[in-house]
Amino acid sequence: MGYTIAEKIIKKHIVSGEMRRGAKIALKIDQTLTQDATGTMAYLQFEALGVDRVKTEKSVAYIDHNTLQSGFMNADDHKYIGSVAKKHGIYFSRPGNGICHQVHLERFGKPGKTLIGSDSHTPTGGGIGMLACGAGGFDVACAMAGKPYYITMPQMVRVNLNGSLKPWVSAKDIILKVLQIMTVKGGVGKIIEYGGEGVSSLSVPERATITNMGAELGATTSIFPSDEVTHEFLRAQGREEDWVSLLADNDAVYDEVINVDLDSLVPMVACPHSPDNVKSVDEVGSLKVDQVCIGSCTNSSLTDMMKVAHILRGKKVHPDVSLSIAPGSKQVLTMLARNGMLADMIDAGARILESACGPCIGMGQSPNSKGVSLRTFNRNFLGRSGTKDAQIYLISPEVAAYSALNGVLSNPTELENMPNFKMPEFFMVNDNMIEPPASVEEASEVEVFRGPNIKPFPVADKLPDSIEAEVVLKVDDNITTDHIMPAGSKILPYRSNIPYLSKFCFEVVDPTFAERAKKVENGVIVGGINYGQGSSREHAALVPLYLGIKVVLTKSFARIHEANLINTGILPLTFVNEDDYSKIDQNDKLEILNLREAIRNNEPIVLVNKTKGIEIGVKYNLEDRDRDIILAGGLLNYLKSTF
Ligand code: MIC
Ligand code: SF4
């Protein structure tokens, strides 16, 4: 029996467990990445592990999220990350060098290698044939310390791309189509592999647009083969030696096969407020637009930008539209400046932003009240843009640019003559914004800078025998980490200050949550399906822990968030019978008995709803190591006990 692409990489990296669907496996990690919004915490945790130098082949710390420096906080965090990186053997990509996923693809990604990153869009690396997963910061810290990464061996989905794309239809439309088919929970517990004749017509950055948004499917990761196209890309980046061929075997076994017909694909749009609320641009019709934002780790490659510049050239942005463009990296921006296309954008009336996440994470460019904003990004969750009543639509760069000219959502296939936007033969390579770490000899001399914004992170107590608790919040299905712990320019600077952040926990759902939770000694949150989807931010677990949350009880969890809860020491439970969700309400008093004994012996837990006078069947999905972590009160306590 043959192997899928992912299985081939897993086979080479597995250090414990069996490569059997559903089994817990541990993988050796070759590379790690962090970004600044999760990185500060990840490096504090790395320091707590007491390891001098990273044990990975390559670890890179990026500054791309918190680049708006109003106040000292972000600048201090940048300095902290820069100094901690230098001391411990980590490369440091300075602010302005670009968005982590774009830069990693250009400069560091290697086919066949494993990568974990403290950002949910780390699967972007699947575009270059890496097995790349998003993870909580603590898991990334552990990988830097040389410890393996634990996942449940996923099911394998094959997406066949048949035919080829029509002019002005692009990779973004492919992944929006896949989202329409599979939904935001359709990828949970799965790896999505792309194959079929259409693959060879997609460049590495186009493939990366698709694997990037695999995060929105809830997938463990997504991956493309490493073929001649990958070879060409690495050669053009001056890294030909990093190429290896990596293809699925013809007799590889997939659990599910999806076919996407590229010939008939049309421009697509994800409507508010979920990336799977997908329709065709024509179906939505000529919606009046207030704002268009082009960029983000999904769509900010050189070719994306060249298409945009071509559409804008010699035209004027519609007077009712504010158009912003953030090229994804210093490399992209420099090349646009040199080939004159940056001037085409500026001439047309675009507002050029620095190469960073920017509006995607609410760092500026919040739309006007009730504003309609078209964005080439990957998430349109309620409130994420910074304007709660804004309507965010996710689209391709082609749709974005054409709509910015027309002032209404527009279908770019109306445009004539699409030029052949070829990847350049050589990218301009200048890594002078990537600081290498200090040598082993010099490392001890490096002083780590710590600003006053860095506060200790909370650590749980070991799991008690029984808990008297209260339901402090009950929420619906598909709650995102943006609901739990919002981002945005006002809050993000406090990612290393959990007490301050806690004031904003669940703010978009219930502004009274934080105050109420603090008053309850043992809090429980009750949720629906796919609780914790979206970002990898472990702040969505650390902050509830700080507010006294001991248990989160749901119908099901998103993968990274469940792992973050366990690492933090919050017990994730699910209903045995999903209908019991209706038998538990906010403010109900609960009792959970014999907890330690039950978990230690892998026996069922008894949860009594004292308010309703009933017992509710709950279960947990904890493998041996997870069980020990929960019993110990989180990963840090567990690791200390095993040192
Ligand atoms: C996001 O897109 O939500 C982020 C900001 O990149 C997050 C990380 C974070 O919250 O810092 C992610 O996707 O993991
Ligand atoms: Fe940055 Fe947005 Fe990508 Fe997250 S999704 S890494 S905020 S560009």
Minimal-distance CA residue to ligand 2 atom 3? 297
Ligand nearest to the CA of 117: 1
**CATH code, domain with 397:** 3.30.499.10
Give 328 Cα–ligand 2 centroid separation in angstroms.
Answer: 10
Mean pLDDT over the full length of the chain: 97
Ligand nearest to the CA of 40: 1
Give 465 Cα–ligand 2 centroid separation in angstroms.
Answer: 41
- Alpha-carbon distance of 577 to 618, in angstroms, equals 8
Give 551 Cα–ligand 1 centroid separation in angstroms.
Answer: 23
Asked if residue 472 and residue 370 are part of one domain, the reply reads no
Give the pocket of ligand 2 (CB within 6 Å). Answer: 65, 99, 119, 121, 296-297, 357, 360-361, 377-378
Asked if residue 324 and residue 405 are part of one domain, the reply reads yes
Asked if residue 492 and residue 391 are part of one domain, the reply reads no
* pLDDT tops 80 at residue 441: yes
Atom index in ligand 2 nearest the CA of residue 215 equals 5
Asked if residue 472 and residue 381 are part of one domain, the reply reads no
Give the pocket of ligand 1 (CB within 6 Å). Answer: 37-38, 65, 119-121, 134, 361, 487, 534-537
Tell me, yes or no, whether 347 lies in a domain.
yes
**Number of structural domains in the chain:** 2
- Alpha-carbon distance of 174 to 285, in angstroms, equals 20
Asked if residue 473 and residue 396 are part of one domain, the reply reads no
Atom index in ligand 1 nearest the CA of residue 134 equals 14
Report residue 599's pLDDT band, with 50, 70 and 90 as the boundaries. Answer: very high
Which residue intervals of 227-348 are DSSP H helices? 228-236, 281-284, 302-312, 330-339, 341-348
Ligand 1 mutation target, pool 99, 120, 212, most atoms within 8 A of CB: 120
Tell me, yes or no, whether 315 lies in a domain.
yes
Tell me, yes or no, whether 152 lies in a domain.
no
Asked if residue 386 and residue 304 are part of one domain, the reply reads yes
Residue 168 · residue 396 · CB < 8 Å: no
Give 207 Cα–ligand 1 centroid separation in angstroms.
Answer: 20
Atom index in ligand 2 nearest the CA of residue 100 equals 6
Work out the percent of the chain whose per-residue pLDDT is above 90.
98
**608-638 per-position pLDDT tens digit:** 999 999 999 999 999 899 999 999 999 999 9
Asked if residue 521 and residue 404 are part of one domain, the reply reads no
Q: How far is CA 306 from CA 301, 409, 423, 424, in A?
A: 9, 20, 10, 11
Over residues 205-234, the mean pLDDT reads: 98
Predicted pLDDT at 59: 99
Atom index in ligand 2 nearest the CA of residue 300 equals 8
Predicted pLDDT at 365: 97
Give 306 Cα–ligand 2 centroid separation in angstroms.
Answer: 21
Beta partners for 195?
160
Beta partners for 293?
324, 375
Asked if residue 529 and residue 613 are part of one domain, the reply reads yes
Exposed, middle or buried by CB within 10 Å (0-12, 13-18, 19+), for 268? Answer: buried
Minimal-distance CA residue to ligand 1 atom 1? 535
Predicted pLDDT at 643: 59
Tell me, yes or no, whether 142 lies in a domain.
no
Work out the percent of the chain whose per-residue pLDDT is above 70.
100
Ligand 1 mutation target, pool 36, 41, 119, most atoms within 8 A of CB: 119
Domain end call among 378, 394, 413: 413
- Alpha-carbon distance of 73 to 175, in angstroms, equals 36
* pLDDT tops 90 at residue 330: yes
Ligand 2 mutation target, pool 60, 97, 118, 119, most atoms within 8 A of CB: 119
Tell me, yes or no, whether 186 lies in a domain.
no
Predicted pLDDT at 640: 84
Domain of residue 405 covers: 268-413
* pLDDT tops 80 at residue 293: yes
Domain end call among 377, 397, 413: 413
Atom index in ligand 2 nearest the CA of residue 360 equals 2
Tell me, yes or no, whether 248 lies in a domain.
no
Asked if residue 635 and residue 497 are part of one domain, the reply reads yes
Region of 548 on the Ramachandran plot (φ > 0 left; ψ -120 to 50 alpha; else beta): left
- Alpha-carbon distance of 386 to 291, in angstroms, equals 14
Report residue 110's pLDDT band, with 50, 70 and 90 as the boundaries. Answer: very high
Give 560 Cα–ligand 1 centroid separation in angstroms.
Answer: 12
Atom index in ligand 1 nearest the CA of residue 65 equals 5
Ligand nearest to the CA of 118: 1
Atom index in ligand 1 nearest the CA of residue 37 equals 11
Report residue 280's pLDDT band, with 50, 70 and 90 as the boundaries. Answer: very high
Give 275 Cα–ligand 2 centroid separation in angstroms.
Answer: 14
Report residue 641's pLDDT band, with 50, 70 and 90 as the boundaries. Answer: confident
Asked if residue 472 and residue 402 are part of one domain, the reply reads no
Tell me, yes or no, whether 104 lies in a domain.
no
Domain end call among 413, 439, 459: 413
Residue 169 · residue 267 · CB < 8 Å: yes
**CATH code, domain with 488:** 3.20.19.10
Ligand 2 mutation target, pool 360, 394, 481, most atoms within 8 A of CB: 360
Minimal-distance CA residue to ligand 1 atom 7? 535
Ligand 1 mutation target, pool 33, 74, 536, 539, most atoms within 8 A of CB: 536
Residue 430 · residue 334 · CB < 8 Å: yes
**466-503 per-position pLDDT tens digit:** 999 999 999 999 999 999 999 999 999 999 999 999 99
Exposed, middle or buried by CB within 10 Å (0-12, 13-18, 19+), for 572? Answer: buried
Tell me, yes or no, whether 549 lies in a domain.
yes
Exposed, middle or buried by CB within 10 Å (0-12, 13-18, 19+), for 492? Answer: buried
Note the pTM of the prediction, 2 decimals.
0.97
Asked if residue 635 and residue 535 are part of one domain, the reply reads yes
Exposed, middle or buried by CB within 10 Å (0-12, 13-18, 19+), for 624? Answer: exposed
Ligand 2 mutation target, pool 105, 361, 482, most atoms within 8 A of CB: 361
Predicted pLDDT at 576: 96
Asked if residue 392 and residue 531 are part of one domain, the reply reads no
